[in-house]
């Protein structure tokens, strides 16, 4: 009988994944939004907000990530 430990699965909704997304949202807001929702309305809105002002893009990206 062997004692095998199954590898820990890293769920995309785990807190560590959220931290990575938030860090990416601070550096490149559209990337953080894309990782959360894909190429949807929020992604394109975030690109527009980031072009118009970097800070609104960051705020929107963090909001999209934490609202789940």
Q: Taking residues 4-23, what's their average pLDDT? A: 69
Residue that wins the pLDDT comparison between 59 and 4: 59
Kindly indicate the confidence band of residue 9, based on its pLDDT and cuts at 50, 70 and 90: very low
**Segment 54-68, tens digit of pLDDT:** 999 999 999 999 997
What is the model's pLDDT at position 2? Answer: 54
Please, are residues 35 and 42 in contact by the beta-carbon 8 Å criterion? Answer: no
Quick: pLDDT tens for 40-52. 999 999 999 999 9
The predicted model scores a pTM of: 0.77
Domain boundaries, the chain: 15-67
- Residue 27 phi, psi dihedral angles, 5° rounding: -80, -50
And the tokens for 7? 């590898």
Closest CA to 61 of 35, 23, 25, 7: 25
Residue 35 to residue 27: CA distance in whole angstroms: 14
């Amino acid at each position: 009988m062997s004692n095998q430990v199954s590898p820990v699965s890293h769920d995309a909704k785990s807190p560590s994944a959220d931290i990575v997304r938030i860090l990416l949202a601070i550096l490149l807001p559209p990337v953080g939004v894309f990782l959360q929702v894909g190429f949807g309305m929020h992604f394109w809105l975030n690109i527009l907000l980031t072009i118009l002002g970097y800070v609104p893009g960051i705020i929107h990206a963090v909001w999209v990530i934490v609202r789940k």
